[in-house]
Amino acid sequence: MSLKLFDLSGRRALVTGSSQGIGLALATGLGRAGAEVVLNGRDGARVAEAVEALKADGISAHASAFDVTDPKAVQAAVAAIEQDIGALDILVNNAGIQRRMPLEDFPVETWHEIMRCNLDSVFYVGQAVARHMIPRGHGKIINIASLQSEAARYSVAPYAASKGAVKNLTKGMCTDWARHGLQINGIGPGYFETPLNQALIDDPKFDAWLKARTPAGRWGKTEELQGACIFLASRASDFVNGQIIYVDGGVLATL
């Protein structure tokens, strides 16, 4: 009986920014738990390639290439998914970017680029999907926050600001939408082996610092985020709302 709480058979999930990295890992985890998944990204060819890889793994998958920073494109794409593929039960707001440089040198246009992708998109896609979920009286929205929703490092202040805002937007979505039967929560990854972090992985000094700073003593593997995502997407979390689960190997637990 307990395992059925985590069964996603018959559920349909949209995962933004899912042609690679954490997004693709989360989509894979949801698919293996039984969900039908819709992959998203701006590069249609890369999204299609990822869809084929999931299908080869026995997962029911579809492509939906659109720009999550364009509110009109988001509304049109979500409407098309609902009409052509089917009702969305789960949304994972994963799309995000990182830019590193000293804050005093940070260009204004790059600040806005980060905010559009990391924060505005969560509002645009979350709102568009919630408008379909609310009349149905159920739905799961999982926003991908970050370890840096709680802390910051040199040269990534705008990223930390965007992810701190995602944390509180998650709480705000819960405050507005829980009464309609929706559960809105977040996952805060620590440092994972992803294309976004490749420069840090290749930096011996940072690699040594990260392993020493993390109680687990290593980088995370993207598949280690799947369990938290399945939990938050399933009936097992039906009374969990407005929370962020940090999956960071213990970084936030220690000085």
Q: Which residues are catalytic?
A: 159
Q: Give the DSSP letter of residue 120.
A: I
Going by DSSP bridges, is the β-strand pair 139-144/182-189 parallel, antiparallel, or unpaired? parallel
Amino acid at 155: S
What SS3 class is residue 47?
helix
The phi, psi pair for 191, rounded to 5°, reads -95, 120
Chain position carrying tokens 């009349």: 135
Chain position carrying tokens 């003593």: 217
- Cα separation, 110 vs 120, whole angstroms: 14
CA geometry: angle at 81 spanning 222 and 128, to 5°? Answer: 80
Query: Each residue of 16-38: b (16+ CB within 10 Å) or e?
Result: bbbbbbbbbbbbbbbbbbbbbbb
- Tokens for 151, please give them: 């802390």
